[in-house]
Structure 1
């Protein structure tokens, strides 16, 4: 039992920090506190990422519409997520520093397929999914040079800005956030803030840290729009319900 508990703790603590806490009883070691906090946050972000975009997917499926979601913005966001986790995987960074990228990529690819499907292009949706699986295999299967992966990660900075800007502009033009999920946007915003800290602690990679800083600012813009258009969307939904009632009457 003791060995099991030690193994469980070592999934979050390093050997050094385990010794500091449970052998030397030094609970005030600053470096261990930061390392443990970073690891814990990373694991929490990964756990949360398993379902972070599910509310968005469910919202699209329930309404049978992807109205208000710009597919090009989704493509660019998917590229950014894929480049990030592929680069991190090949560079050998701890899974706790980037693991959510795998789950976010799967969910974002599903959203892209749904946007295409409900946009009247089901064949394109199937073709896109097949092409994406092939691309990921090439990126993480040792077929892509590290320099190319680094360049893709570096390009993430403007791509994230462009991807989120496209959605922000779409929201502005529509005067509404459409089928965007508030839960998903808030979780992505919180996760990107936490990732700045964990990236500093676990990777020290400047381009990764910069990417999450930009991502936080971009996600923050969407959160602000969600708050701004909250009453607008609620009013539109109420009007649509009243119209449906009148038709049935």
Structure 2
């Protein structure tokens, strides 16, 4: 029976309340508040997916290819800073672990990417020292940082992420290809940025915050366009190296 179908159970459990299911699939009515609710739920899943998995394809691609060609170290360092700010903020404010645990996974992936960039560039010792120093700084910030410092870090995380995307975009343009930049990671990041933009435009925010989210989403789209358009150039560059 339709009332107990697996499809209905899935939709009602994860995407919409029972009322919206009846509006869409029983009454065949495009109920605007329900549509908005579903879109927000889907966007939330996309944002979570970006937060949890966006860096993993990039890490796996580096390990698989054994190369970090085309990746901007400064860009990844800015990403590490941007991803660290919410963790420091959460620890300083004693948020429960489940509220920010996925950020730790993202930090570990980003830190591993930075180490691999230095390792494949022949600077393994510097990579180890950088990770040790980073771990110490994170501990000190989470345990002893002043509230004003933590607040400034949290407020600057989006700016760091925008700068990171801009640097990688410039690097791609300068190289004429995207190197080992993962198309899957870029796609997940783009989807997550568009999701954050969709949510932020519905909330009451300052014009500067909205503009920042728009800029971040635009840069993500530019990166995705570069990856899609430069595949042939990247393949040619890889063959020349081999």
TM over 0.5: yes
Q: CA deviation at 1:230?
A: 2.0
Q: Which residue of 2 aligns with 1:170?
A: 171
SS at match of 1:50: helix
Change (3 A) 1:48 1:70: closer
Cα deviation for residue 194 of structure 1 reads 0.7
CA distance in 2, matches of 1:36, 1:91: 31
Deviation for aligned residue 1:171: 1.5
Whole-angstrom CA distance in 2 between matches of 1:211 and 1:138: 29
What is the distance in 1 between the residues matched to 2:197 and 2:204? 10
1:221–1:97 Cα change, 3 Å: farther
- 1:158 Cα deviation (Å)? 3.7
Describe how 1:1-249 pairs up with structure 2 within 5 A. 21=19, 30=33, 34=36, 37-39=39-41, 41-47=43-49, 49-87=51-89, 101-141=103-143, 143-199=144-200, 211-239=212-240
RMSD: 3.9
Shift of 1:76: 1.0
Maintained 8 Å contact 1:59/1:181: yes
Change over 3 Å in CA distance of 1:144–1:85 after alignment to 2 = same
Q: CA, structure 1 residues 89+189, in 2 after alignment: closer, same or farther (shift >3 Å)?
A: farther
1:204-228 per-residue CA deviation (whole Å, 9 max, x = no partner) reads 6658765543321222221122133
CA distance in 2 between partners of 1:164 and 1:129 (Å): 22
> CA 1:26–1:55 in 2, change beyond 3 Å: closer, same or farther?
closer
Deviation of the 1:48 alpha carbon: 5.1
Distance 1:98 1:199, change over 3 A: farther
Distance 2:227 2:174 in 1: 14
Task: Tell me the matched-pair count.
Answer: 225
Alignment gaps of 5+ in structure 2: 1-9, 25-30
More displaced stretch, 84-93 vs 111-120: 84-93
Deviation at 1:93, TM superposition (A): 8.6
Is the 1:46–1:99 contact (alpha carbons within 8 Å) kept by the matching residues of 2?
Answer: no
| TM-score (ref. length: structure 2) | 0.72
**Quick check: 1:97–1:199 contact (8 Å CA) kept in 2?**
no
Deviation at 1:183, TM superposition (A): 0.9
8 Å CA contact 2:55, 2:185 repeated in 1: yes
Pair 1:43–1:90, CA change in 2 (3 A): farther
SS at match of 2:133: helix
User: CA separation in 1, counterparts of 2:188 and 2:98?
Assistant: 17
Change (3 A) 1:116 1:155: same
CA contact (8 A) 2:51 2:106 kept: yes
Q: CA deviation at 1:191?
A: 0.8
Residues 38 and 96 of structure 1: CA distance in aligned 2, closer, same or farther (over 3 Å): farther
Counterparts in 2 of 1:209 and 1:92: CA distance versus 1, 3 Å: farther
In 2, Cα distance between the equivalents of 1:184 and 1:60? 12
